[in-house]
Amino acid sequence: MTPALRKLRDLFDDMSADVPDNHRRIAQLERRIRDDNRRRAFAVTGVTLLTAAGVLIPAFLLPGSAVPPRETTTAVQPAAELPPRFTSGDGSAYRRLASATLKAKSKGEKKASLTVPVSGKPLEVAALCPEGNPADLARPRVIVNGEPSSNGFQQCLTRQGTGMVLGSVSAPKGAEQVTITFDITDGGCVPKKDEACPTRTFLQPTDWPLAVYEYTPPARPVEPDPVEAFPARRETLKLAGQASGVWPRKSSFALTVTSPGGYFGIDHLCTGDLADRLSISYRIGDEPSQGERVCGHRTLDDTNALLWSEKVPKGTKITISGKVRMRGGHPNRQTRWSVGVYSSKIVKLVR
């Protein structure tokens, strides 16, 4: 082992050596497990009772009903089943074209295909996120007429509980019908060039209710709700600058900030029904792009971890820019985005 790696290993050993004793851990765990069981039982009972009482389903099934825009998305609405029709928060009227259940657990199926007509309206695929830890489950990847789609129901990974998630798919130009295949072979992995899919023996097969929808977007652009303001201070971070806009009217920004001698952290918030399909790619000064970060979180209590810059010398001006991209979507389904840049001088040393 090299000296640098030995130092790292020693540091890990030393910094974690003072393990606090917790004699009550087993008792605390038992209480958490009891609470967890109660919560899960309540959630199942609640959905069943609401469905039985006709409370939940009609809210989704009213075709074309004028539901006022609100700060929820189709991706996070609870659903007991994939409904034949529903209206999203921004007034888009969804109609189910076909549905199937990929019975990976009960019948060992690996693929399910649906062929649907193409009317020219936007197409979307939907799934009900199954029970259990989504990171443990093989998710289906989506293939459109033999071509891999970027959609893989990733939203199931970044949310609590179960429910319906939706994603855009595009039909080839001029196609009158399209065949959409849901495939969980290799755990839904889409292999990158020259790189095989990882072995994922731990992924559990499960049954996936799936569907293909088309939707009629709202006739006029729907104004998304305001974004919660970034606080001027967060702990010891100071708000150094902010930018905002509404997709598709504005899809980029550039902010120039002056370093107090430390690091910059970037956060973002979005509102609108398609907020969790909007992503922002950032560029900090001369650094290459940091990749796209999805903007699906809506409150400051539920935010992405900050994207941090490298250390910037005191007094240096640095430009932070971003490009906003929407996966699928429709111009009338607008999404408001807001970016806050925070500065911190020195990172606290824990020890």
Partner 1 sequence: MRDKADFVAFVEARSPRLLRTAYLLCRDWTQAEDLLQTALVRVWRAWGRVGEHPDAYVSRVLVNTHLSWRRRLWRRELPTDAPPETVVPDDEIGMTDERAVLWAALGRLPPRQRAVLVLRYFEDLPESVVAEILNCSIGTVKSQSSKALAKLRIDPEVAPTAVASRTEGERR
Footprint of partner 1 (CB under 8 A): 2-5, 7-9, 11-17, 19-20, 22, 25-26, 28-29, 32-33, 36, 132-133, 135-136, 157-158, 195-202, 204, 234-237, 262-263, 297, 300-306, 308, 311, 344-351
- For partner 1, the closer of residues 234 and 323 by Cβ is 234
Distance between CA atoms of 112 and 102, rounded to whole angstroms? 6
Closest to partner 1 by CB, 2 vs 174, is 2
Per DSSP, what are the bridge partners of residue 228? none
* Closest distance to partner 1 from the beta carbon of 222 (Å): 27
Q: Give the nearest distance from C-beta 33 to partner 1 in angstroms.
A: 6
Q: From the CB of 191, what's the least distance to partner 1, in Å?
A: 9
In the complex, minimum distance from the CB of residue 109 to partner 1, in angstroms, rounded to a whole number: 20
Shorter beta-carbon distance to partner 1: residue 3 or 68 = 3
> Minimum distance from CB of 105 to partner 1 (Å)?
12
How far apart (Å, rounded) are the C-alpha atoms in residues 285 and 307? Answer: 14
Residues 6+ apart with CB under 8 A from 189: 141, 197, 198, 200
Nearer to partner 1, 75 or 171 (CB): 75
What's the min distance (Å) between Cβ of 268 and partner 1?
A: 13
CB of 125 closer than 8 Å to CB of 211: yes
Peptide bond into 231 cis (omega under 30): no
Q: How many other C-beta atoms are found inside a 10 Å radius of the C-beta of residue 189?
A: 19
Nearer to partner 1, 54 or 202 (CB): 202
In this complex, which beta carbon is closest to partner 1, that of residue 65 or of residue 154? 154
Minimum CB separation from partner 1 for residue 40, in Å? 9
Identify the three-state secondary structure at position 228: coil
Kindly give, in sequence order, each residue whose CB lies less than 8 Å from that of residue 84, ignoring residues fewer than 6 positions away: 61, 95, 96
| Six-digit token string for 18 | 């003072």
Name beta bridge partners: 183. Answer: 111, 141
List of residues 6+ apart from 318 with CB closer than 8 A: 256, 257, 258, 259, 264, 284, 285, 309, 312
Nearer residue to partner 1 within complex by CB, 117 or 132: 132
